[in-house]
Amino acid sequence: MKAKVTATARYLPERVLTNFDLEKMVETNNEWIRSRTGIETRHLVSEGEATSDMGTNIAMQLLEKTGKSPEDIDLILVATSTPDYLVCATAALIQNNIGAKNAWGFDIAAACSGFIYAMETGTKMVESGRYKNAIVIGADTMSSIIDYTDRNTCVIFGDGGGGVLLEQSDDEIGILDSILHTDGSGSQYLNVPAGGSAHPASKDTIENRMHYVHQDGKTVFKFAVKNMADVSKQILDQNNLTGDDLKLFIPHQANRRIIDAAAKRCGLAEDKVLININKYGNTTAGTIPIALDEAVETNRLQKGDLLLLAAFGGGFTWGSMLIRWGDA
């Protein structure tokens, strides 16, 4: 038995922040941002809008597209680095909001690799035969942890998310393989220093702006370029595949140069790589499911096509997933 994707959905907040808007906020310019990241615009939540609100919208779309009732859902997994609360999973809030009274769930914190981690978790639970309908969501409200006086981070990130419904499959359609990695020695290079048990909120942590994302950009970039490319090539090799066998590659949308390096390593032509970082920036756990829903909407995936997902994130975390597409 396999797990297959039977529906996709995405949500982007209405508010848009352009590079020209950022020029008025920090010392940067449109050309600098575009040439180094490929980003032109990003979406931001409205006041009072949180990760659970985005996730609820996504989950309701999945129910509508598949004709499922909330009671049909067995499991809800939410990949996020920006939960509504530290204590109380965002998955629980979404479960309550949609009325999925038979479902249980939890959050997964793996930064930008979170959606692939959640997909692997959901896949194994569906493959066990115990769970028939699992909602897997990747969503982040990055604006809640971004310092908009720091030009090195505020130009990169946006808010948004997406998700899928996983169901059982008795044929060759579904999730075929995955490779996941963690290297905790990289935790110092990309994190939010305060707000957890290591550095609880205090006057000092607030004054020192420790509740925002901090990153060593050069170190993260170097690690991401190598490892996302490596793990993409590795999963093809272990399945005796080449880039020619793929219909589409959906990489994490962190930086155009990182995406290009991974595509080149796999020998992929540009028309086989889905890139939307220019529109949304880096939505962390949201990038891959947002792109996946766009691919479905624009008919870039047909039944039987091979799809490759790959991501890299703080932790460090990284991974790839190979999917034989169905009728979603």
pTM of full prediction above 0.95: yes
Do 191 and 155 fall within a single domain?
no
Do 20 and 55 fall within a single domain?
yes
Do 145 and 180 fall within a single domain?
no
Partners of residue 34 on adjacent β-strands: none
Query: Total structural domains in the chain?
Result: 2
pLDDT band of 115, cuts 50, 70, 90:
very high
Digit-coded pLDDT (tens) for 262-292: 999 999 999 999 999 999 999 999 999 999 9
Do 148 and 185 fall within a single domain?
no
State the pLDDT at residue 262: 93
Do 316 and 194 fall within a single domain?
yes
pLDDT band of 327, cuts 50, 70, 90:
confident
Asked which of 137, 170, 203 is the last residue of a domain, the reply is 170
Residue 220: give the domain boundaries. Answer: 176-324
CA neighbor of 3 nearest in space, from 94, 93, 75, 107: 75
Q: State the DSSP code for 252.
A: -
Asked which of 140, 170, 200 is the last residue of a domain, the reply is 170
Alpha helices in 26-137 (DSSP H): 30-37, 51-66, 90-98, 114-127
266 in active site: no
Cα–Cα distance, 9 to 112 (Å, whole number): 18
pLDDT exceeds cutoff 90 at 251: yes
pLDDT exceeds cutoff 90 at 110: yes
pLDDT exceeds cutoff 90 at 124: yes
State the pLDDT at residue 242: 95
pLDDT exceeds cutoff 90 at 296: yes
State the pLDDT at residue 167: 98
Do 134 and 215 fall within a single domain?
no
Do 13 and 46 fall within a single domain?
yes
Tokens of 270: 């540009």
Rounded to an integer, the average pLDDT of 80-100 is 97
pLDDT band of 328, cuts 50, 70, 90:
confident
Do 124 and 163 fall within a single domain?
yes
Tokens of 191: 């994190």
Do 100 and 122 fall within a single domain?
yes
Digit-coded pLDDT (tens) for 212-245: 999 999 999 999 999 999 999 999 999 999 999 9
CA distances from 33 to 27, 112, 279 (A): 11, 20, 13
Whether 256 and 38 have beta carbons less than 8 Å apart is answered as yes
Number of neighbouring beta carbons within 10 Å of residue 232: 29
State the pLDDT at residue 264: 92
Q: Which of 53-62, 176-185, 245-254, 259-268 has the lowest mean pLDDT?
A: 259-268
pLDDT averaged over every residue in the chain: 97
Do 192 and 153 fall within a single domain?
no
pLDDT exceeds cutoff 90 at 100: yes
Do 63 and 149 fall within a single domain?
yes
Rounded to an integer, the average pLDDT of 154-163 is 98
Rounded to an integer, the average pLDDT of 240-257 is 96
214 in active site: no
Radius of gyration of the chain (CA): 19
Rounded to an integer, the average pLDDT of 191-197 is 96
**Active-site residue, selected from the candidate residues 227, 252, 255, 266:** 252
Tokens of 65: 């597209």
CATH (domain of 296): 3.40.47.10
How far apart are the two ends of the chain, measured CA to CA in Å?
Answer: 18
**Active-site residue, selected from the candidate residues 133, 227, 255, 282:** 282
Asked which of 117, 144, 170 is the last residue of a domain, the reply is 170
Burial of 252 (0-12, 13-18, 19+ CB in 10 A): buried
**Active-site residue, selected from the candidate residues 112, 191, 255, 266:** 112
Rounded to an integer, the average pLDDT of 17-40 is 96
Do 15 and 51 fall within a single domain?
yes
